[in-house]
């Protein structure tokens, strides 16, 4: 039985407890040493093992409306940028949790948080900022370092250094080779150009890259070995029908509607009919599908790719006419098929007059056997679409690795728009925290006047904001450590709690690997506080700037600039939205 229930976020104790539990659950997944969670619904079924936000958030069933709001905001961010979901969720939840303990009006807090985040946004976009580094596509080592950082951050993947390096190079190669050339049509690509195909029960070293698109083809048994396919071909006269450039191609029809003969495909209504009417309607549908197949034959189509199911009679007809068919391709691969073949989706078989303009083409169709399954490899000379085959021993680890690869590809494509990367390992958060502290304390009077609050309220809100960044830095490094900040670059440095000596080397690197310093100087580095106090002291410049050298560590850690900056902005706005809602009214079962 369901009933209506209300919840006041600012006063309801259960809301504070659920926010804290959700925060601790997500924070545990942060970093390469993060824990992974096992998720399963109350009715049983599939078990999901993951520490990746793109798989964790959708798999969770949340009942509290405030948590649903945060999860929905994070999912929206992931759909657009693909990365930094955990950082966004943890930052937002920490701000909500800590803000509820402050004796400051919610509107004032939201205004102060907005001032803080806009200050950081302005600083991060400065052309001469010391925060970000240039991501030059001519320097593949920087791109590989970024890819390696993302892949290594997923604890469940458990890749050793050699495997991580190989898969990182393979991803960068796939990305570079998928960049469209000048021959691509004017409207531009629809997909990202890299189709990720996962194969279970195979070692990761068997992962490889294929030019073209690989789709599963269950019509042929893998037990018979590689089969030489006989596919109807047509003449391709190149550009503008120039017969001097005649080639042989295979015409392709890309069908997104069902060819199974279901009535629901053409009639969206509830109706009552007799058995005779039903038979007549079924015969009419079969007649339309037969006419559709005859039109494909007249157009010399050699390959039919159907997103859904094909009727057995149509399969027989296609086979008799020498037309190769593939059914149940699924929705995910359709954009890649459009980019590869140049075909437009055929959404209905009723109207056949405009089908000619929707036909695409491929150069070759080959039979492949991968992991004891049959596949078709479709290639086209004028296409940059590639298939990245990712192998792993079992399903959940494969799903985790595929999610990481998709995150990396999204990040690499964002570098085409903005060629910037941030120092990872918590260094950019540490840098931003100390820069923000300096800027806000400098113009304290202006801010308090603008927001109409006291200096003490500004400091209290700032302490919460900085603590949200510092706690994320500590969340990344799970083992007992002291995290220090250098007084020059404001990067964070990891030091075991035991002692500074004995020292095996004279120099050490910061957590991202971009800075190095003599270990003897680290004695003067201040500790990054987990919780800032309301009265701040500036980080003293005790050491000269020349001790911090710009050297690149072999295991450089980098974060995506656009995804990180947008995650920071959205986390603050999401927290402000949750705090500003006085009462939730929802159904409880």
Measured CA to CA, the distance from residue 474 to residue 23 in angstroms comes to 14
Nearest to 88 by CA among 135, 123, 134, 54: 54
Domains 12-130+423-542+551-580 and 238-357 equal at CATH topology level: no
Full pLDDT tens readout for the chain, 589 residues: 445 555 555 445 667 888 999 999 999 999 888 888 888 876 767 788 888 999 999 988 888 888 999 999 999 999 999 999 999 999 999 999 999 888 888 999 999 999 999 999 999 999 888 889 888 888 788 899 999 999 988 766 678 889 999 999 999 999 999 988 755 544 567 888 999 999 998 999 999 999 999 999 988 877 777 878 878 888 775 544 444 445 788 999 999 998 987 765 555 555 555 655 666 777 888 888 899 999 999 999 999 999 999 999 999 999 998 899 999 999 999 999 999 999 999 988 888 888 999 999 999 999 999 988 999 999 998 889 999 999 998 888 999 999 999 999 999 999 988 999 999 999 999 999 999 999 999 999 999 999 999 999 999 999 999 999 999 999 998 766 688 888 888 999 887 544 444 445 677 888 988 888 887 777 778 888 877 665 555 555 444 444 566 656 677 899 999 999 999 999 999 999 999 887 767 666 5
Between β-strands 549-550 and 558-560, what pairing exists: parallel, antiparallel or unpaired? unpaired
Q: Are 252 and 305 in contact (CB under 8 A)?
A: yes
Nearest to 215 by CA among 381, 339, 360, 327: 327
Q: Name the residue ranges covered by the structural domains of the chain.
A: 12-130+423-542+551-580, 238-357
DSSP string, 260-304: S--GGGT--S-----HHHHHHHHHHHHHHHHHHHHHHHHTTEEEE
- What is the predicted pLDDT for the residue at 375? 94
- What is the predicted pLDDT for the residue at 21? 92
Q: Which CATH number fits domain 12-130+423-542+551-580: 1.10.560.10, 3.30.1330.10, 2.60.40.2310, 1.10.510.10?
A: 1.10.560.10
Q: What are the beta bridge partners of residue 194? A: 386
Measured CA to CA, the distance from residue 93 to residue 572 in angstroms comes to 10
- Within 100-155, residue ranges assigned H as helices are 106-124, 140-152
Q: Are 305 and 254 in contact (CB under 8 A)?
A: yes
Quick check: bond before 152 cis, omega within 30? no
Class of domain 238-357: alpha beta
The overall longest dimension of the chain from CA atoms, in Å, is 93
Number of Cβ within 10 Å of residue 247's Cβ equals 13
Number of Cβ within 10 Å of residue 2's Cβ equals 7
Measured CA to CA, the distance from residue 106 to residue 454 in angstroms comes to 14
- What is the predicted pLDDT for the residue at 514? 87
Pull the structure tokens for residue 119: 């200050």
Measured CA to CA, the distance from residue 404 to residue 50 in angstroms comes to 11
Measured CA to CA in angstroms, residue 70 lies from 95, 193, 210, 317, 413 at distances of: 12, 31, 39, 53, 26
- What is the predicted pLDDT for the residue at 139? 79
- What is the predicted pLDDT for the residue at 544? 47
Does an H or E element contain 197, and which? strand 194-199
Measured CA to CA, the distance from residue 192 to residue 180 in angstroms comes to 10
φ, ψ dihedrals at 108, nearest 5°: -65, -45
Measured CA to CA, the distance from residue 161 to residue 76 in angstroms comes to 33
- What is the predicted pLDDT for the residue at 158? 74
């Amino acid at each position: 039985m369901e009933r209506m229930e209300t919840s006041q976020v600012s006063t309801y104790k259960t809301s504070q407890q659920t926010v804290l539990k959700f925060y601790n659950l997500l924070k545990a997944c942060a970093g390469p040493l993060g824990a992974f969670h096992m998720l399963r619904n109350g009715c049983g079924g599939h078990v999901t093992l993951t520490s990746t936000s793109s798989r964790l958030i959708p798999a969770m069933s949340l009942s509290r409306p405030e948590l649903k709001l945060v999860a929905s905001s994070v999912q929206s961010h992931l759909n657009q940028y693909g990365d930094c979901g955990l950082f966004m969720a943890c930052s937002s939840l920490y701000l909500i949790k800590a803000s509820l303990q402050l004796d400051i009006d919610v509107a004032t807090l939201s205004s102060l948080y907005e001032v803080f985040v806009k200050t950081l946004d302005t600083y991060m976009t400065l052309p001469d900022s010391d925060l970000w580094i240039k991501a030059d596509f001519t320097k593949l080592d920087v791109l590989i370092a970024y890819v390696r950082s993302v892949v290594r951050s997923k604890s469940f993947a458990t890749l050793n250094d050699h495997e991580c390096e190989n898969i990182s190079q393979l991803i960068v190669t796939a990305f570079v080779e998928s960049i469209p050339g000048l021959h691509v049509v004017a409207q531009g690509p629809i997909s990202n150009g890299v189709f990720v195909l996962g194969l279970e029960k195979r070692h990761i070293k068997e992962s490889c890259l294929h030019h073209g698109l690989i789709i599963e083809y269950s019509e042929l048994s893998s037990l018979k070995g590689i089969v030489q396919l006989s596919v109807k071909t047509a003449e391709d006269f190149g550009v503008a029908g120039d017969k001097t450039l005649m080639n042989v191609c295979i015409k392709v029809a890309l069908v997104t509607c069902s060819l199974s003969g279901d009535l629901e495909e053409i009639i969206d209504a509830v109706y009552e009919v007799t058995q005779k009417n039903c038979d007549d309607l079924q015969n009419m549908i079969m007649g339309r599908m037969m006419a559709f197949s005859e039109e494909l034959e007249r157009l010399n189509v050699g390959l039919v790719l159907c997103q859904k199911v094909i009727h057995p009679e149509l399969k027989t007809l296609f086979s008799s006419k020498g037309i190769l068919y593939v059914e149940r391709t699924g929705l995910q691969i359709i954009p890649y098929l459009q980019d590869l073949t140049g075909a437009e989706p055929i959404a209905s078989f009723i109207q056949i007059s405009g089908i000619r303009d929707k036909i695409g083409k491929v150069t070759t169709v080959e039979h492949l056997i991968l992991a004891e399954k049959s596949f078709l490899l479709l290639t086209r000379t004028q296409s940059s679409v590639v298939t990245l085959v990712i192998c792993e021993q079992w399903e959940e680890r494969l799903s985790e690795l595929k999610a990481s690869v998709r995150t990396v590809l999204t990040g690499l494509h964002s570098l085409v728009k903005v060629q910037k990367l941030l120092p990872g390992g918590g260094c950019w958060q540490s840098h931003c925290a100390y820069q923000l502290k300096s800027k806000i304390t400098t113009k304290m009077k202006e801010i308090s006047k603008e927001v109409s609050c006291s200096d003490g309220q500004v400091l209290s809100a700032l302490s919460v904001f900085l603590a949200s960044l510092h706690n994320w830095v500590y969340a990344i490094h799970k083992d007992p450590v002291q995290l220090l900040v250098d007084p020059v670059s404001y990067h964070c440095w990891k030091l075991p709690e035991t002692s500074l000596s004995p020292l095996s080397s004279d120099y050490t690197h910061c957590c991202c690997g971009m800075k190095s310093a003599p270990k003897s100087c680290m004695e003067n580095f201040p500790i990054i506080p987990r919780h800032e106090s309301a009265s701040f002291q500036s980080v003293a410049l005790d050491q000269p700037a020349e001790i911090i050298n710009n050297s690149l560590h072999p295991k450089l850690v980098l974060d995506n600039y656009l995804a990180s900056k947008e995650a920071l902005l959205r986390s603050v706005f999401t927290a402000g939205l949750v705090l500003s809602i006085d009462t939730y009214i929802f159904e409880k079962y």
